[in-house]
Amino acid sequence: DAGVTQSPTHLIKTRGQHVTLRCSPISGHKSVSWYQQVLGQGPQFIFQYYEKEERGRGNFPDRFSARQFPNYSSELNVNALLLGDSALYLCASSLSTYEQYFGPGTRLTVT
């Protein structure tokens, strides 16, 4: 079975631009969570969506937004990019309240 997929794998943006990252959960998984991982640190929770509704939000500015579609895929949007937004962005899907399955991530570089 296919795991969690994320696109693109890598991208480079300039300060002030906008970026959209995409995530496809494992088939049947209705919950998607987004994390930001800065080099040398653990992943930081950004958003959680379940059945297209936001169920949780981490301590991130309003420049970060997300949504979940009827097929349970999800997008993470970041506006007005800053150099500090450079990170690995991870998506995870889950079926139950136990295991989360993580994708390989999208490496975002802001110059």
Partner 1 sequence: DAKTTQPNSMESNEEEPVHLPCNHSTISGTDYIHWYRQLPSQGPEYVIHGLTSNVNNRMASLAIAEDRKSSTLILHRATLRDAAVYYCILPNTGNQFYFGTGTSLTVIP
Q: Which is nearer to partner 1, 68 or 100 (CB)?
A: 100
E strand intervals along the chain: 5-7, 10-13, 19-24, 31-37, 44-50, 53-57, 64-68, 74-78, 87-94, 101-102, 106-110
From residue 98, give the alpha-carbon distance in Å to each of 32, 49, 61, 105: 13, 16, 28, 21
Applying the rule CB under 8 A, the residues between 4 and 63 that interact with partner 1 are 4, 31, 33, 35, 41-45, 48, 55-56, 58
Question: In angstroms, what is the minimal distance from the CB of 83 to partner 1?
Answer: 22
Q: Which is nearer to partner 1, 76 or 105 (CB)?
A: 105
> Which parts of this chain interact with partner 1 (CB under 8 A)?
4, 31, 33, 35, 41-45, 48, 55-56, 58, 90, 92, 94, 97-105
